Amino acid sequence: MSLFLAPRSTDLDGSHKMPLDLPHAKVEPVDAWKPEATPYESGFSVREQEPLPRAPELPASQGDPNCKVDLAFLMDGSWSIGKRRFKIQKDFLAEVAQVINVGMAGPMMGIIQYGDEPVTEISLRTYSTSRDVKSAIDKIVQKGGLSNV
């Protein structure tokens, strides 16, 4: 497919008409729709944008040690996500358990798996260490079913 570019003029009635004979209105075909074409080859110019100013990087915060938060996660156990993505969820949840440092004095973590029927895999107060939560996550089996959230 070829693209032809030419200047337009607008009449008072708002309709667009092509100029009849202007010395500077040279029309050349531009084949910009080829998959291998780049903007530089097509005759179009690419305007480089100014980089946005970056905010100064702050040291990583360890959070407020006095903040108490319990986290509950919904985990998709339906067949539509497949075994690989189910494992990705488990790996993510195990990593979260390690990062938040689950404990009786700190945050607790719970997981509900859904599909045809929701199942509480880990209740908030079941495990008191990140290691125990991670071990329990490793044992979660995909229940299957439809994605009934």
pLDDT at 45 over 80: no
pLDDT tens digits along 11-29:
455 555 555 555 555 555 6
- Separation CA 144–CA 76 (nearest Å): 9
- DSSP states of 10-69 as a string? E-TTS-EE--S--TT----EE-TTSTT--HHHHT---PPPPPPPPPPPPPPP---TT---
CA distances from 82 to 20, 28, 51, 78 (A): 62, 52, 40, 8
pLDDT at 131: 93
- Separation CA 3–CA 31 (nearest Å): 6
Please give the backbone phi and psi of residue 54, each rounded to the nearest 5 degrees, phi first. Answer: -90, 140
pLDDT at 32: 55
CA distances from 11 to 20, 22, 135 (A): 13, 16, 75
CA distances from 132 to 72, 73, 75, 95, 102 (A): 16, 17, 18, 13, 9
Residue type, 127: Y
Instruction: Copy the structure tokens of residue 50.
Output: 């100014």
pLDDT tens digits along 66-115:
667 789 999 999 999 999 999 999 999 999 999 888 887 778 999 999 99
pLDDT at 51: 73
Mean pLDDT (the chain) is: 76
Q: What is the dihedral of CA 24, 27, 30, 33, to 10 degrees?
A: 120
Residue 131 vs residue 27, higher pLDDT:
131
